[in-house]
Amino acid sequence: MQLSSSSFANGMTIPRRFTCDGEDRSPPLSWTGAQAGTRSFVLLCDDPDAPAGIWHHWAAYDIAADCVELAEGAAQHAGKQGFRQATNDFRRPGYGGPCPPHRHGRHRYHFRLLALSIDHLPLGDNPSCQAVEREARKHLLAEAVLVGVYER
């Protein structure tokens, strides 16, 4: 399985419009090669270079198995597109773009797509990104990673 973006290549800079310094929109993401038996997807984004440890920026879950992309800004219309979103480490549901501390150097942002063997994750209201990932990994079939970087 492969995860990509039309806005940045693996290992390259995430454009400003997808960060807290810009419009804070979720980037366009697409994927190919989902494993047979995939019944849903989870999309995660985190920053392993955050000063206090991993910072969770996004968890979109219950993405339909026949979905092969999320358009730019999809996080702003999740309900209309049929997927759910967790509460991120900014303490709000949905996408929170890259926002490293000023002069903290380059941070890596891992966008991870998880293919799952279950249609819907059994989660309560307003789960955290960590809760989504923890539950998703119990049903994991495959994983793809796209890394972008950003520096302020």
**Integer Cα distance of 56 and 28 in angstroms:** 18
What average pLDDT does the segment 80-102 reach?
Answer: 96
Q: What is the pLDDT of residues 82-91, one digit of tens each?
A: 999 999 999 9
Strand residues in 5-106 grouped as ranges (E): 29-32, 40-47, 55-64, 69-70, 84-85
pLDDT score of 80 more than 90: no
Least confidently predicted of 11-15, 99-103, 129-133:
99-103
- The pTM score is 0.96
Tens-place pLDDT, residues 35-79 = 999 999 999 999 999 999 999 999 999 999 999 999 999 999 998
